[in-house]
Amino acid sequence: MTAIPEIPEVPAIPAHETARPARAARFGGPLTLGLEVALLLGALAWGAWQARAEVRARALPPLRTEPYAVAPLYDDPAVVSGAELARTIPRLALRDAGKLTVIGNVEHALREWGPDARLPEPYLSGSDLRRLLTDNWRFLGTYGPGRPSLLYDAPLEDGASLWGGHGGRGVRVRALEGVATSPHIDHTLASLAEAGTSLDFPLVTPGRRTTLRAVLEQSLRTFNLNQAEYEWSALAYALYLPPVRSWTTSEGQEMTFDRLAGRIVREELPRGVCSGNHRLHALVVFLRIDDRMAADGMPRILSPAVRRGIVAYLRRVTASLVAHQHPEGFWNGDWPTATPSSREATDREGDHRSDRLIVTGHVLEWWSLAPREVLPPRRVIAAAGHWLVRTIDGMSADEIQTDFSFLSHAGRALAQWRRRSPVEVLQLEPPAQ
């Protein structure tokens, strides 16, 4: 028998040895190859077009230039009388503290008073509050050149490039880095939205002039459903997006108000800033905007099941608040599980006077906007209103400035329970100097 023959590696065939005969070349000459190459290039172009189409599908939807306003629904003198309001509200304005001015307080003051409030010295007026947040020159005027700016330009994470690059420049708001930065993610944006600021409002960053739209677009792109702070993002989106119901983040995740609502109710209470009350506030705004859409004949932003879920959730929350209200009318940080144990505030975490102010003021604020179906008995609201008035009455002007951010919610809540804004109350009684 014979051994298996060794098969040597087939050498590369020189080009001239493999050239086609002339007749065969007619069917496979340069023309055919050119057509094949053209076909291949066409396929590549088609692929690139598909990629662009995919990117276009992820483009941000049209945004509302003017934000929706969520007006208070109730006028109940049992919660706060006209005299109490006139006495209390004017004290709840923000003093200009120069370089020590806290940006968080500025944002709270803006949402409390609005941009049209004219307040006497040393209080910051509404227009000045808004300029401090939107104009880097005004910011420099207060804080000097040594501070990092509140607004800064950043690549717009729009996922617009096939290669994952950046498609332009956006604007970010510096947050969680101290006094001259915003205290929460998207808190500046939400405050400006609640103050009725147009997306065309001019914005001056250290590098350029743009509009508030750049901040919102950047926020929409970079938003992550699981980020630690999401309450103000959700609030701002509810005020600027509808009737649009969804958009796509730079990660490609489709975001909807249903999903946002699911995220908000996911965590147990009282987790979240201000003992979870900003989550509840955002849910109430969702319900109100959803109602507004229906009233305007536009598609709702919430699915029926999610809307029912939100209402049921808020009812449970209200039931818990009713069950755990102190006879004096306040709550503390343990509100989902326990009634405050003493009339006087203690040093225990969650039971300081400021904690009681935080929870009671915030609860009264979102109840003032909430549909009647999630409200507690009237006496519960009235007791809370009376406690707030008494407590504010007992605070000195300096104490009010120290706890300003919490008290701004209380002031807004009290005014809203008379279906007014603080600036409308101010027209009756200007703040004492």
Partner 1 sequence: MIPNAQSRPQESIGVKEVEERAFLTRFALGAAAVVALALSVAAFLLLCYLPLEPAGLWAQLSMGDRILDHRSLPLSDPILRFAEGMPILEASWLSQVILATVERSGEGVARGAGIGWLGALFALLRVATAALLFATFRRLTASALKSALGLALVLALAGRASGPWAALSPATFGTLCLALLLAGIVRVEAGEGRPVQAGLPAAILFGFGWVALFALWANLHVSFVLGLAAVAIFTLGRSVEVVRGRALGEGVFRALAADRPFRRWFRLFELAAAATLANPYGVGLWLYIWRLPSAANLRDLPDWRPLSVATAGGWAFALLIGALLWALSTARTGRPMLSSARTLGLAAFGGAVLAASGLLALCAPLLVGFVLPAIVGVVGGNGETRAPARGVHARLSAWARERFGSLADPSWHKSVLAAALLWAAFALSPVGAALLRGEARPPERTLSASVPLALGNYLRAHPPRGVTFVPTSWADWLVREGPKESDRLQPFADTRIERLPGLVWQDYLRIAGGAADWQRVLGRYGVRTAIFDRAAQHGQIQSLRYDDEWRIAYEDDSAFVFERIAPVGAKGGAS
| Interface with partner 1 in residues 161-200 (CB under 8 A) | 162-164, 183-184, 187
Binding positions for partner 1, 346-405, rule CB under 8 A: 349-350, 354, 358, 362, 405
Exactly one of 66, 177, 200, 254 binds partner 1 (CB under 8 A); which one? 254
Binding positions for partner 1, 195-234, rule CB under 8 A: 224-228
Work out how close the CB of 2 gets to partner 1 at its nearest, in angstroms, rounded to a whole number. 9
Q: Of the ranges 45-53, 95-103, 200-208, 421-429, which one interacts with partner 1 (CB under 8 A)?
A: 45-53
Instruction: Pick the closer one to partner 1 by CB: 255 or 301.
Output: 255
Cβ atoms within 10 Å, residue 105: 20
Q: Of the ranges 210-218, 287-295, 307-315, 333-341, which one interacts with partner 1 (CB under 8 A)?
A: 333-341
Q: What element of type H or E holds 367?
A: helix 353-369
Q: Does 7 bind partner 1 (CB under 8 A)?
A: yes
Q: Of the ranges 65-73, 160-168, 297-305, 372-380, which one interacts with partner 1 (CB under 8 A)?
A: 160-168
Please name which of 408, 295, 407 lies closest in space to residue 353, comparing C-alpha atoms.
Answer: 407
SS3 label, residue 403: coil
Work out how close the CB of 75 gets to partner 1 at its nearest, in angstroms, rounded to a whole number. 26
Instruction: Pick the closer one to partner 1 by CB: 206 or 262.
Output: 262
Work out how close the CB of 65 gets to partner 1 at its nearest, in angstroms, rounded to a whole number. 27
Residue 136 near residue 197 (C-beta atoms within 8 A)? no
Tokens coding 82: 């006209």
Interface with partner 1 (CB under 8 A), residue total: 79
Instruction: Pick the closer one to partner 1 by CB: 211 or 320.
Output: 320
- Residue 182, φ and ψ in degrees, nearest 5: -70, 145
Determine the residue type at 252: G
CA 35 to the chain's CA centroid: 55
Q: Does 145 bind partner 1 (CB under 8 A)?
A: no
For 200, what's the count of Cα atoms within 13 Å in the CB-facing half-sphere?
3
Strand runs labelled E in 56-201: 151-155, 169-173
Binding positions for partner 1, 9-28, rule CB under 8 A: 9-20, 24-25, 28
- What is d(CA 149, CA 431) in angstroms, rounded to the nearest whole number? 31
| 56 DSSP assignment | H
Q: Does 245 bind partner 1 (CB under 8 A)?
A: no
Cβ atoms within 10 Å, residue 166: 15
- What is d(CA 187, CA 75) in angstroms, rounded to the nearest whole number? 28
User: Tokens 């938003």 sit at which residue?
Assistant: 223
Please name which of 268, 382, 270 lies closest in space to residue 330, comparing C-alpha atoms.
Answer: 382
User: Tokens 């007014």 sit at which residue?
Assistant: 420
Binding positions for partner 1, 89-128, rule CB under 8 A: 104, 108
Work out how close the CB of 260 gets to partner 1 at its nearest, in angstroms, rounded to a whole number. 11
Q: Does 59 bind partner 1 (CB under 8 A)?
A: no
Q: Does 5 bind partner 1 (CB under 8 A)?
A: yes
What x-and-dash track marks residues 256-295 binding partner 1 by CB under 8 A? x--x------xxxxxxxxxxx-x-----------------
